[in-house]
Amino acid sequence: MSRFELTRIPFIKNTLKSRYPQLAVFIVMLVGYIFAILAGLIGTPVGSHNFSIVFVWIAWWAILILVAVPFFGRGWCAVCPIPLPGEWLQRGAVLSPPDKKPKWLNLRWPKFLRNIWMQNISFLLLALFSSVLLTTPNITGIVLAAMLFAAIGLSTIFERRAFCRYLCPVGGFIGLYSQTAPIELRIKDKQICVTCEGKPCYNGSANGYGCPWDVFPGGLTKNTYCGLCMECIRTCPHDNIAINLRPFSADLAKPSTRMDEAFKAFIMLGSAMIYAGVLLGPWGAFKDAAYNVGTSAWFIYAVIFLAIIFVILPGFFTLGILKTKGSLPLKQRFASLATALIPLGLMFWVAFSLSFVLTNASYIIAAFSDPLGLGWNLFGTANAVWQPMLTFVLAPAQTLALVGGLIWSARTAQKAANEIRTSSISVIAFSFILTLVMLWLLL
């Protein structure tokens, strides 16, 4: 497979090796994040006029799902401010190299939790309350603050970035879909790693910290757990780390056999479909149930939500592959073939988000001038009238995304099936039916 090493370009390499450009972006992001928390807590309760809702759930979400994840994988994690205060506290430093003395408790993360089930649960919790979260500024402020404090708390108890690696609800799905991105961080020469003394990329050195994501860069084969923090580029004494451009979805050629990752694919796929039905579908009762958190209707909604994700979708998927021949046990076939749902789910999210973002993007213009909804008019745009944007491209773009996702999923299914010597027909049929449902929900 052809790759182009971006770090061969001196400007890119020097920018990534230096800590200062990244720190500058981090500080801007951290200020924006803290402002979003404050706006949520003290700004107007009208979501469409509050910075926390408009910039987090419309602007940031649009950039994340339509650009950052599909093209840069974990690129957002490279500049995300959430782990920063905890990491600075953990290291006792902002920029200076490590002094080797562990700060705070520095415990290893428990072995039985070294998977993404906690991330699956944290995402589902947000998903179940998302109707309220997406529209109520103070709830958004509280959730953003809780993520920041959880990251700080875990940094003082556990080593490295435990929050990012095992708990962050956003990081879980970015990691899943980062496998499809045309960018990767990998070693250049395996042999150099074999003979490298001390493995500073993992253990740290005077030049920098050991991998904050608890990954050994020398063994990286997929993007999922590399947070693109660039630390190993700084610590590797042999200049053996590269950032490469590569074909889309290169990581999916070797399907995962992990059930936590397979269920992540179902969670994301099912959530996109449920959101499309609840937020854009014609069923008012369904929407009311999602919004009225704590009522019996909401509990029924929550049960249906979880049943679709954990029983109905995986159940039909399993029925499809049950009769297919293969040397692997059913559980491994299930996990491997679920790889095909990764591109499908990503494109479902792209198609759903296009509706959501283009309908609400004009709120961004007004919120620029009046981010707290307090009657300011900083840039003269506070009175910009709400109107859906680019409505004429919406349906064609969504159709393209969904059909493209189906073709991408079918190709991935074929490769995964070849890898484990089984048939891809039932998985392709499953993806086809879900794509029809999604087309019906969105168009």
Binding interface with ligand SF4 (CB under 6 A): 76-77, 80, 82-83, 164, 168, 170-171, 174, 185, 187, 192-193, 196, 199-201, 211-213, 215, 217-218, 220, 226-232, 236, 238, 240-241
DSSP three-state, residue 5: strand
CA 417 to chain centre: 26
Nearer of residues 26 and 334 to ligand SF4, judged by Cβ: 26
Cβ(140)–Cβ(133) below 8 Å: yes
* DSSP secondary structure code for residue 211 in this structure: -
CB of 249 to ligand SF4, least distance (A): 19
For Cα atoms 270, 274, 280, give the angle at the middle one, nearest 5 degrees. Answer: 145
CB of 22 to ligand SF4, least distance (A): 11
Nearer of residues 220 and 366 to ligand SF4, judged by Cβ: 220
CB of 71 to ligand SF4, least distance (A): 16
Nearer of residues 212 and 320 to ligand SF4, judged by Cβ: 212
- The two tokens of residue 431 are 């993806």
CB of 77 to ligand SF4, least distance (A): 3
Nearer of residues 192 and 384 to ligand SF4, judged by Cβ: 192
CB of 216 to ligand SF4, least distance (A): 7
**Rounded to whole angstroms, what are the CA distances from 223 to 226, 338, 409?**
6, 17, 19
CB of 101 to ligand SF4, least distance (A): 20
Q: How far apart are CA 378 and CA 304, in angstroms?
A: 45
Nearer of residues 236 and 346 to ligand SF4, judged by Cβ: 236
Rama region for 294: left / alpha / beta (φ>0; ψ in -120 to 50; rest): left
CB of 100 to ligand SF4, least distance (A): 17
Nearer of residues 141 and 212 to ligand SF4, judged by Cβ: 212
Return the half-sphere exposure (C-beta side, CA atoms, 13 A cut-off) of residue 2: 1
Q: What does 168-210 look like in DSSP terms, one character per residue?
A: -HHHHHHHHHHTTSSEEEEES-HHHHHH-SS-HHHH-BTTB-S
Q: What does 53-110 look like in DSSP terms, one character per residue?
A: IIIIIIIIHHHIIIIIHHHHTTHHHHH-STTHHHHHHHHT-SSSPP-SPPPS--BPPP
Nearer of residues 135 and 203 to ligand SF4, judged by Cβ: 203
Nearer of residues 128 and 187 to ligand SF4, judged by Cβ: 187
CB of 215 to ligand SF4, least distance (A): 5
Q: How far apart are CA 277 and CA 174, in angstroms?
A: 23
Percent composition of the chain: helix, strand, coil (DSSP 3-state, to 5): 65, 5, 30
Nearer of residues 219 and 315 to ligand SF4, judged by Cβ: 219
Q: What are phi and psi of 294, to 5 degrees?
A: 95, -15
CB of 441 to ligand SF4, least distance (A): 28
Of 22, 13, 339, 68, nearest to 212 by C-alpha is 22
**Rounded to whole angstroms, what are the CA distances from 172 to 58, 119, 313?**
20, 6, 20
Residue of this chain nearest to ligand SF4 (CB atom): 171
